[in-house]
Structure 1
C-alpha cells in the first residue's frame, strides 16, 4: 500500500486549502489505497505515513468545524473515515500498540492473559476506549497488546461507565485509547470509569493528539500524530467572524 508520493508533498500531509474554500473540504480518497494485505512492517509508521493514511482515507479535513467539546477549529480528524478500512485500522492499531509498549511499566508490557481472567504478571489486562471514537481502536490495539477490548459509554450526567457486563479485577492494568485528543475530556472520563470499576490505568494512547503535546493524564501518553491545532471558543472564532459556514462533521 503506497501512502506517500508527490500528490501529498514530502510530509505526506494534505495541503491546507486557500481561504474561502468550501467548508468541510477533504482529501480525495485514492482508489485502491486501502486494498491488499497489511505489510509485515505495519507497526513502523512515521508521522508522514500516518498523515498519508489519514489524508488518503478522507479522515483529515479542513474547513470550519464544531468539535465535540463545543470549540471551533479549521481542522478536523474524522478517524471513523480511516477506521472503516480494516487494514488501515489494523496498521494504526499496531503502530499505536508498539508506541504504547515503549512507555508501559515493565510489568505491564507483555502479552495479555485469557479473556475474562484477572490480572496476570507482565500483562495489560484490558484496552478501554470511550464510545464511539475509541471502540474500534481499542480492539485493534488489544489484538497486539494481548488484553481484552472494552469500551465505556456516556451516562445521562455526562460521565462514562463500563456497561454490558464489562468488569475489571481489582488493580487490573488498563490502557485507555482514543481516536483523537483535543482537551482530553473523554479520556479522563474513561479513566474515571476504569477507576470506579477497580482497574488501574497505566498508559493512554491516541492516533492524533490535537493538543500539541500539552494533554496531561498523569500517566504516559503517546500518539501517532501530534499536531498543535488551533481551537476557538465560538465567541472568539475568526472563521465565524468571516462568515465561513459551520459544519458538525459527526452528524453528516
Structure 2
C-alpha cells in the first residue's frame, strides 16, 4: 500500500492542476492575514475528469460502509458528492441541502422538500464537502441528518485547511494541509517586496458581506 504522505502529495498535485491550489505567491486572506498559499474552492471541481477521480478515491475509502445517501451542500461539493455516489459500490442516492439564514441572522442548512422521503427508515448518510475550513457547514449537515432520523456514517472531503477541525464521525480528507499565515507587519513576502496577488483579493464591501451570509465551509 502506498504511503499516506505520498498519496496526499499526489492528491494535492491533482488539485494544483485544477488551478484551485495556488502557491509561491503573496495572498491576502479574508481574515486580513497574508499567506504564500491559497485554496480557491470555486476552482476545485472545474475539471470533470479530476473531480471523478477524486470522488472515486473518497468512495473507495468508504466502500465498506452501508451508505444509502450522499449528502452535500454548495455547488462544488455537490459536483464532488455526485461523483462519490456514482463510484460507491452500493450506488447510494445523491441529495443536497441549501444554505439559508433565519430572521435573527443565524445560518442553517435546509433540505429540499422532495428529498425528505429518502429519510424514511433511518438511512445511513455519507456527508461530502470540498474544502473544510471552520467545519461549520459539516456540523450543520450533521444536525440536519440527526433531525430527520438518519445516521451519519462518515465525512469525506478534498481538503481540510485547519487540522484542529475534527468530528466525532469517521473523517477522510484527501489533503490535510494547514499552511502558515502572517499578520501584515510580520509578513515575509511583504519584507521581500513581493507584490500582492490582486486577482484573489478578498471581496470588498457588500460582496464580502454576501459571502459571509452564505456561510463558510
Instruction: Give per-residue Cα distances to partners, 1:159-179, cap 9 Å, x unaligned.
Output: 111115112224211010110
Partner of 1:172: 123
Q: Are 1:87 and 2:49 counterparts?
A: yes
Partner of 2:162: 211
Partner of 1:194: 145
Partner of 2:173: 223
The runs of 5 or more residues in structure 2 that have no matched partner are 1-5, 208-217
Partner of 1:64: 27
Aligned to 1:90, what secondary structure does the other structure show? Answer: helix
Cα displacement (A) at 1:144: 1.6
Work out the number of aligned pairs and report it: 180
CA distance in 1, matches of 2:151, 2:136: 18
Q: Are 1:131 and 2:74 counterparts?
A: yes
Instruction: Give per-residue Cα distances to partners, 1:124-178, cap 9 Å, x unaligned.
Output: 1101112133211110111122111111111123111111511222421101011
CA distance in 1, matches of 2:9, 2:80: 20
Task: Compare the two structures and name the one with the higher helix fraction.
Answer: 2
Change (3 A) 1:141 1:153: same
Partner of 1:183: 134
Aligned to 2:76, what secondary structure does the other structure show? Answer: coil
TM-score by length of 2: 0.72
Contact 2:33 2:181 in 1 (8 A): yes
Cα displacement (A) at 1:231: 5.4
Partner of 1:142: 85
1:102-141 correspondence to structure 2 within 5 Å: 109=65, 123-141=66-84
Match of 2:98 among 143, 153, 156: 153
TM-score by length of 1: 0.63
Aligned-residue Cα RMSD (Å) equals 2.7
The runs of 5 or more residues in structure 1 that have no matched partner are 1-44, 110-122
Instruction: Give per-residue Cα distances to partners, 1:86-126, cap 9 Å, x unaligned.
Output: 1111000001111233xxxx6xx2xxxxxxxxxxxxx3110
CA distance in 1, matches of 2:132, 2:44: 16
Q: Are 1:54 and 2:54 counterparts?
A: no
Change (3 A) 1:170 1:80: same
Contact 1:174 1:203 in 2 (8 A): yes
